[in-house]
Structure 1
Amino acid sequence: MTDAFAFLPPESPMSGEIRALDWSATPLGPPESWPSTLRGTLSLMLACPTAMFLAWGPDLLCFYNDAYRPLLGYRAETALGRPFRQVWASIWDEIGPLVDATLAGQSQTLTDVMLDLSRQGVPEESWWSFTYSPVRDEAGAINGLFCVTAETTSRVVNEARLRESEDHFRHTVELNPQVPWTCDPEGNITSYSNRWLALTGQAPGEPDGSGWAKALHPDDVPWTMTVFSQNLASGEPVDIDYRIRVAATGEYRWMRARALPRRNEAGAIIRWYGVVEDVHDRKLAEERLRESNETLERRVSAALAQRKLWADVFETTDALVAALDLDYRVLAVNRAYADEFESLYGLRPRVGDRLLDLLDAHPAQREAARAVWSRALAGEEFTLVEEFGDPEHRRPIFELKFTTLRDSAGRRIGAFQYALDVTPRLRSQEQLARAEEALRHAQKMEAVGQLTGGVAHDFNNMLTIIRSSVEFLRRPSLPEARRTRYLEAVSDTVDRAARLTSQLLSFARRQPLKPEVFDLGERLRAVADMLNAVTGARIRIVTEIPHAPCHVRVDPSQFETALVNLAVNARDAMTGEGTLALGLACDRPLPSIRGHAGAPGPFAALSVSDEGAGIAPEFLARIFEPFFTTKEVGKGTGLGLSQVIGFAKQSGGDVDVASDVGRGTVFTLYLPQVDPPAPEDATGTDAPEPEAGERGLRVLVVEDNLEVGRFCTQILEDLGHATVWAHNAEAALSELEQAPVRFDAVFSDVVMPGMGGVALARRLRVEHPDLPVILTTGYSDVLARDDAHGFELVRKPYAADQVARALRRVLARRRPASS
């Protein structure tokens, strides 16, 4: 029997996959009918170790070799024999033009192209180099394309890191107050930082070789070059002092040049690395020290004479007192200092001891002592607070004051330390801080108690109505009119409960939003007419809206709710009579509100002003708290302003309030301005919702809650649709893999164990772009943080007509695209 796949290399695993696929069900038909060009190309490709693929025929069916298969990731199980466009639908915008150009006869070569292959089903950045070539059939016509590809992600990332490292090194060199430099084994300067040019005034390139010596003092050149040459010849570290002329001032300053050699494996010097630092002030200090050596004995004698006087003074105080000379040697120390030092470090300091040597066994404390005493010995007078002793035990805390010691001629000879133990005072401050933290925690728990108490009160009221109504509805003899009244009471109470939940989520900035870009002025004019029904006939509404458009991107429903809440508050503040003013200002900055930093904007500022009684100053800080209200019992829930501030914050803005008791209140809602939306093609707008009586749909329901799942499938079946219920996202994917064309839509919960609804929807958008997805949730932190998910959303609790409208909307949007 003839082997139809005899042309395939037997050692290639992909040969086995090609043999196993039923090709008679594809446009290519059985392999016996395949053209010789396809057979030959496949044979060469499968035998090659480089990653390659072949797309053949009008549908560009996919073939690939073993090296290419790992690049497919999770697609590898279904990619063979599928149209190329379906396999790489997620990156078609990037590679589609390349495919079109190749099929037009133009070979394509691209290097280091960034593509998001999402090989494991999650976004990833990767870089690729590849060539696209047209493949011709026996008649010479282009009937496919051939690609050789290689991933260059590692090289691209490493090169980027190298560039960043080099840039970091350049900045480090140029910001170094010293002057880094390098030279070759012969002493020719090869590199230096720009600081050398700034110091010396030399031009770029002038210091190269031995040109740097031109900046030296003429008297220092001969012996500097001699010492430099000797170090180069011996390989000993370079350490030379010389003077250079500073271009900015024309004066000469002392510099110290140091360098170490770099050797190869054989021990030969291949380069010198060095730095030049300004030591002028140190040189002058050394010169002054040499000059003072002649009078050192006199100053020591004077210091010894002073010691008796200091001792008499030191021992009359509980403070820790000590004095050091410029070499960190003890000039004087009182008993309190010596006792404390001995208790901490086991040694007792005496006059003439070098303080740093006493701390050799405690390196951390030694460096800390050097740091503070060096400041004092340099002439700085300062105060600081430090802990001393073993860090693992409770340590005393001292307030240390340092002053300069001078001789009779005014010359600096040392420093003086005066230290007080302030441990009790600071420990008391720590206890006060802990008490304040406990008070803040108690206040927070009180706020939580107020919130939960308010929620419980309102929900218990609503549950009372629902429970009583249900009990009456169970009576078989209940008149129809009363049955209707009780059903309406249940429906209205459920709506109130949903609004209460929405307001709480809005206050917490956890409300799933559906933002749109719209002209705030235009929307405000439309809503102002509606507010008349809310405020009543005795409230006069005036508006001041600019003619220029002012666009924002917010949830229109939440915006209108916030505006209604502000209007209702204004109405109640004016006891139903007065003027309500709505004003809009554009391109405004966000001011600092309640201690939060402002922002430059631009922001749209919507003000709502009333002529009411105003808000007492002691209440202004609490008006946005949930369930806080100054109205009478039954006149308000205390959640209106909570919704307003929650909506404003979640939309990227804020709300401010100013009130004058007896004269009125102004609330100002700040919302970020955005650019106007791009004009839409008329053919791209949503089609009108179809009327009732449309065909029944096949809906895949994804819901992990058993009760909600039963209720949802019952709603859909009552609407005339067929349903399949999957208890999680993984089960839904399994249903779709079995027969993806069997479903017209997916209706999925958002919050589920394992893969969530948003992740499922995004995966279906890639793998099944023509399958509409509707999400539903009562609360989702994912949707609260990401309002750009792009899917139809039905909020819980939902009714049958809401589900029906959502299905009609997604199907109406799909029909123009598929027609």
Structure 2
Amino acid sequence: MPMTREDLEAENARLRAQVATLESSLNALVASAARQRAIFDSSTDFAMVITDPNGIITDWNTGAEHVIGWAAEEMIGDNAERFFLPEDVANGRVDHEMTRALEDGRASDERWHVRKTGERFWASGEMMPLHDGGNVHLGFVKILRDRTEEHVAGVALKQAKERFQTILETVDSAFAIIQLKFDADDRPVDYRFIEANPAFARQSGADLRGKWVTEHAPDLERFWFETYGRVARTREPANFESYAEGFARWFDVRAVPVGDPDELQVAILFNDVTERREAEDRLRASEALARENVERVQLALAAGAIVGTWHWDLPSDQFTIDEAFARAFGLDPALGRSGIPLAQIVATVHPDDQEGLAEAINEVIARGGAYAHQYRVRRVDGNYYWIEANGRVDHAPDGTPSSFPGVLIDVQERRAVAAQRDSAIAALRALNENLEQRVAERTGELMKAKDALRQSQKVEAIGQLTGGVAHDFNNLLTVIRGSVDLLRRPGVSDDRRQRYIDAISDTADRATKLTGQLLAFARRQSLTPEVFDAAASVRTISDMVRTLTGSRIKVSVRLPSEPCHIDADRSQFDTAIVNMAVNARDAMKGEGDLTITVAEASRMPAIRTHPAVSGAFVAVSLTDSGPGIPTDRIDQIFEPFFTTKGVGEGTGLGLSQVFGFTKQSGGDIFVESTEGEGATFTMYLPRVEGLGDVAVEAGDTSLQLGEGACILVVEDNAEVGMFATQALAELGYNTVLAMNGAKALAELATGVERFDVVFSDVMMPGMSGVELGQEIARLYPTLPVMLTSGYSEVLAQSGTHGFELLHKPYSIDALSRAIQKVARYRRR
């Protein structure tokens, strides 16, 4: 049916309205698309990538260019696999992610990706499918964000936590975190163990993780609560060592606050030091016994009538005796080392004295303590001699007699002198005529008798001294022997083995130090004198003195502008300064003033019984502000083992070393003191001319350890010689052992070119080590000689005669250094 005009106009109006509506919708759609595009392009921190269903990139925003590196024109049309790692592409990771996105509506992922530069970066992102209005799949959109820094930091933190946990699990020290509990009055009353490492149970003896300490130790001392509570409240760390009765152990503790202050938590790191503390207690007890023998030590050093020493093990009735004892009574030295019963020992006692000896022995065994008894014994020559036995009986903790060490002294001369004295007194009393004349005639004889008596009193002191010395050294030998027996037991752990070895080494060092200080006091120590500036040496050692005395003592040093040269042992000089400084520190109770002065002096004042001496001296003085020294004690302070300190605070040998060093160096020590005003100790040492500047040779390091070198070892003691040759063999040297000087010269005569160094003991029968060295220097001037000695009167009086000296006992390291030093002379 044909349309009318009206119909056409109506249809035209409808179409125009429809076009207007379409135009409006199109404009809205364009505006929305523009807004979405602006969001897409402005997200610079997020990489947005749009792909088709096959993963081909169709759009790439500015954020993707910023994060991944490629520009849009480089990536559109390329596959999204381009910024995935090759191994992820090979494993089908991209296809898997698109599949998950289609199935679940989105796929989240965190992994390494690759930038345009080839650099890897860690990204977290999501992939989502794109659909049109008809739910037709158009492709995918992937959104990525760079999380590299966060990821690396997280990995590092995890690794650090793992390392820290490993340390806590394996460290020997105990570690725990505790939380404090306070009562209504803000007093710490308990603490709970929140965390604890495995070592905690070993060190404390209990596993308390998750428990309150009062559950294990309800009577624990208040000290522990107060200390940990103070750390938790003040946030200040604490270091301390204390005994915990509830654990029956000593602990060395470091406590530090951790966490938020309101949590009241403290981390503690501690070690069980019970064994060390008990060892210190035993050492203090041993030192106390040594100090009881002060007078006997001093007198015995000046006498020489010891027959021999013994040690009687009471439970087994076995005497061990030294070689001198065995020789004196014709006994087998081998049996003396393994053990001899009492019956065999007393078989040589005079029949008239045996009953009294038995009573004296039974009495001292019953009560314990010191023992002294005189009786006659038959010596190896068949004659009877008077001796005095001095010793000490020790009881076990349960009261059972355990050991009886002692010493025998020859008192034959003393008893003869006493008899002469008694006879002289009787004769004097009988005189009633010409008294003055007769007294004059007998005065000389009486003076001789008194001198002899004084000497006999010194001899008596030897017994008292050596009984104590033997006891102390037997204590040291007990530690060594016990450690050796423990090392021989099967299944000893490495830690315990090292502990026993350290005990042997430490005990040997203490014995070495004790004998060295006694030799220094007796002026029989082998010194190594050299010419040096005493002022420069004091300047060098002053820093160490300040460290030893502590911050509360002000140390002042006054030195001259010109050098003050002396000829002495530099090491012993420094040791004397340190000993006097430590003595001053202890006298001042750790607080006061200490002044060290070095000056020239034209005379040495009268000291003790010695008159003043004119001459060139260097005076080294230490003045303290302590309480001074009582007048009645000034004459005692240089005696070995004399001390006013408490148990475990010193051996009493420091000032003895100073006395022995100054006397052996040709000088003396002078003390001035007024009670309440401090004291001044002054060493006077002979001043000598300096040697000028001496060029110091650079160390020759070309000789490797034992490199083709052969050492001629000269030692009369077979055991020491075997040790020296084995030690040198361990160091890589070839060795030849000669038992005396004559055999050594015979070896050299067969071919001196075989040897690089001669290593000889000093004290040997026949030719001494010094004489052997002098003969070698005459016959073979280029062959170096090194001497070794623990004690030699020849060296003490005359020095080393220019030879290198290695002191006994020596370590293998010291032996190696000394051999390499002297071997350089042969190569030159």
Q: TM-score, structure 2 length as denominator?
A: 0.46
Bigger RCO of structures 1 and 2 (CA < 8 A, at least 6 apart): 2
